[in-house]
């Protein structure tokens, strides 16, 4: 009886460790690769540590690649993501409040539509959006990326659930009796209580925007417009190891450690957010699993 128990525990542990390796090893590898030169990478053990000097060199090379292209991409990503997130908040928080705590004709229908578009993968709308944007000559403008990012139905639903489950309607009634107008009720009663949900919506919006690939891929055309998610693909395309025959001198050639470094730089903001937002995030996700 007891022995069997230990066998189960052992098997469970082995499974867990296998998956820790599955999820962890690529990250570890990514961290180690830029410490090595391309030939070290190809010949030494994948887990060998090169040197910090190489790491620094790789970093500088990636940053300075073609006139600091990487920085331009990062800046673009930041513009798109911050802009999109800010607008998404501006739309989602009041909308969630309106759906939860005010009454108007079409409220339930709007809610149902919100749910449908929330489940509908955003990718499905990208090409239609492009077709529309090219019709109104918005392609190539920052707005062609930011405005679609601003449309974040998941955030609306999060805010809706938050407002409807945490704010008692009597509280709003009390504020109205105290003489607050509709805007005052929202501004001075609901909004101060909504801080956790603002953080959560911002988190999900930002991560989705930063990692988005397809939309900017379709909407932007030049290196000066690309976000870093596409920049990575550009780098692959100019790495001779993957694309032999690509023109380019040795100095400007992208090698594998450079690619790893670029990837590392590209994901760094999200990793940092994950680290700091872990608590809130897990809490938000946990809350997600209550009842339902």
Partner 1 sequence: MPGTTAVPPVRYPPVEGLRVEGRRRDRPPAGSSPVAGYLFVAFYVALLLCIGVAPAVYAIALALSTPGGVGFGHFVQTFNFFEFAPAFEHVFEFEGIWLASQTFFVVLLALLVHTLKRRVSSAFRFIFYLPGAMAGSASAIVWLFMFTPNTSPWAFILHGLGYQVLPNTVSPGNLPMIFAIMAFFTGAGGWIVIMYGALNNIPDELIEAAQIDGSSPLQTALRIKLPLIRKWVVYMLVLSFAAGSQLFVEPQILAVATNGEVPPQWSPNQLAYYLAFQQDNFNNAAAVSVDLLVIGLLVAVLLVWRGKLFSVD
d(CA 56, CA 121): 39
**Shortest separation between residue 220's beta carbon and partner 1, angstroms:** 13
**Shortest separation between residue 59's beta carbon and partner 1, angstroms:** 17
DSSP annotation string for the chain: -HHHHHHHHHHHHHHHHHHHHHHHHHHHHHHHGGGS-HHHHHHS-TT----HHHHHHHHHHHHHHHHHHHHHHHHHHHHHHHHHHHHHHHHHHHHHHHHHH---TTHHHHHHHHHHHHHS-GGGGHHHHHHHHHHTT-TTSTHHHHHHHH--HHHHHHHHHHHHHHS-HHHHHHHHHTT--HHHIIIIIIHHHTHHHHHHHHHHHHHHHHH--HHHHHH--STTT--HHHHHHHHHHT-TTTSTT----GGG---HHHHHHHHHHHHHHHHHHHHHHHHHHHHHHHHHTS--
Residue 156 interacts with partner 1 (CB under 8 A)? yes
**Shortest separation between residue 72's beta carbon and partner 1, angstroms:** 17
Among 170, 179, 247, 250, binds partner 1 (CB under 8 A): 170
95 within 8 A of 156, measured Cβ to Cβ: yes
d(CA 84, CA 206): 8
**Shortest separation between residue 251's beta carbon and partner 1, angstroms:** 22
Which of the stretches 50-58, 59-67, 76-84, 252-260 binds partner 1 when contact is defined by CB under 8 A? Answer: 252-260
**Shortest separation between residue 213's beta carbon and partner 1, angstroms:** 4
Which of the stretches 52-60, 65-73, 75-83, 172-180 binds partner 1 when contact is defined by CB under 8 A? Answer: 172-180
262 within 8 A of 231, measured Cβ to Cβ: yes
Site string for partner 1, 44-73 (x = CB under 8 A): --xx--------------------------
Residue 233 interacts with partner 1 (CB under 8 A)? yes
Among 69, 70, 202, 267, binds partner 1 (CB under 8 A): 267
**Shortest separation between residue 222's beta carbon and partner 1, angstroms:** 15
Among 54, 57, 66, 211, binds partner 1 (CB under 8 A): 211
Site string for partner 1, 83-102 (x = CB under 8 A): -------xxx-xx-xxxxxx
- Residue closer to partner 1 by CB (options 51, 165) is 165
Neighbours of 254 (CB within 10 A): 26
**Shortest separation between residue 280's beta carbon and partner 1, angstroms:** 12
**Shortest separation between residue 167's beta carbon and partner 1, angstroms:** 7
Site string for partner 1, 18-37 (x = CB under 8 A): -xx-xxxxxxxxx--x----
Residue 6 interacts with partner 1 (CB under 8 A)? no
Number of residues engaging partner 1 in binding (CB under 8 A): 127
Residue 292 interacts with partner 1 (CB under 8 A)? yes
- Residue closer to partner 1 by CB (options 52, 286) is 286
């Amino acid at each position: 009886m007891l022995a069997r128990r230990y066998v189960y525990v052992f098997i469970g542990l082995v499974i867990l460790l296998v998956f820790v390796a599955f999820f962890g090893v690529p990250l570890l590898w990514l961290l180690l690769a830029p410490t090595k030169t391309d030939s070290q990478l190809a010949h030494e053990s994948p887990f060998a540590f090169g040197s910090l000097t190489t790491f620094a060199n790789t970093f500088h090379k990636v940053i300075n690649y073609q006139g600091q292209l990487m920085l331009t991409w990062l800046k673009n990503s930041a513009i798109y993501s911050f802009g999109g997130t800010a607008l998404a908040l501006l739309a989602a928080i009041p909308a969630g409040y309106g759906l939860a705590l005010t009454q108007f004709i079409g409220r339930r229908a709007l809610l149902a539509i919100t749910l449908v578009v929330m489940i509908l993968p955003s990718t499905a709308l990208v090409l239609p959006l492009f077709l529309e944007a090219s019709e109104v000559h918005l392609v190539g403008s920052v707005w062609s990326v930011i405005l679609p990012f601003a449309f974040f139905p998941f955030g609306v639903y999060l805010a809706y659930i938050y407002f409807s489950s945490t704010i008692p309607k009597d509280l709003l009634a009390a504020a109205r009796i105290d003489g607050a107008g509709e805007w005052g009720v929202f501004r001075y009663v609901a909004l101060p209580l909504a801080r956790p949900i603002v953080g959560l919506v911002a988190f999900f919006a930002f991560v989705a925007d930063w990692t988005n690939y397809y939309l900017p891929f379709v909407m932007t055309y030049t290196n000066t417009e690309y976000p870093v998610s596409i920049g990575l693909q550009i780098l692959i395309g100019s790495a001779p190891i993957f694309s032999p025959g690509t023109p380019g001198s040795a100095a400007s050639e992208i090698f594998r450690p450079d690619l790893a470094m670029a990837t590392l730089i590209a994901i760094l903001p999200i990793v940092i957010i994950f680290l700091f937002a872990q608590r809130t995030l897990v809490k938000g996700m946990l809350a997600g699993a209550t009842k339902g």
